[in-house]
Amino acid sequence: MALDMLEMAAGNTELDRLRGIAARLTARVVELRERLGETCLDRDFRFVRVNDALAEMNRLPVNAHRPIYVV
């Protein structure tokens, strides 16, 4: 019984360690995505969505990338 409790405690410690690693990796991915230029285009290759990093790379405000629809 005592051995089972020790194994469970060791398992929880390992689980906590892995959760910490996952949290750090997630934070790093979020940080990297903020630096990457990302966009979504429509079927006519017009900007539908642009993140701040891409707008900065293009030296245009985000709203300048919005598509203009001619009706």
List per-block mean pLDDT (blocks of 10 residues) for the chain, which spans 71 residues.
59 86 94 88 87 91 76 46
Q: Who's near 22: CB < 8 A, 6+ residues apart? A: none
Q: What is the pLDDT of residue 70?
A: 52
pTM of the model: 0.52
pLDDT of 4: 63
Contacts of 63 by beta carbon, 8 Å cutoff, 6+ apart: none
Could you give the residue ranges of the DSSP H alpha helices within the chain?
Answer: 2-35, 52-58
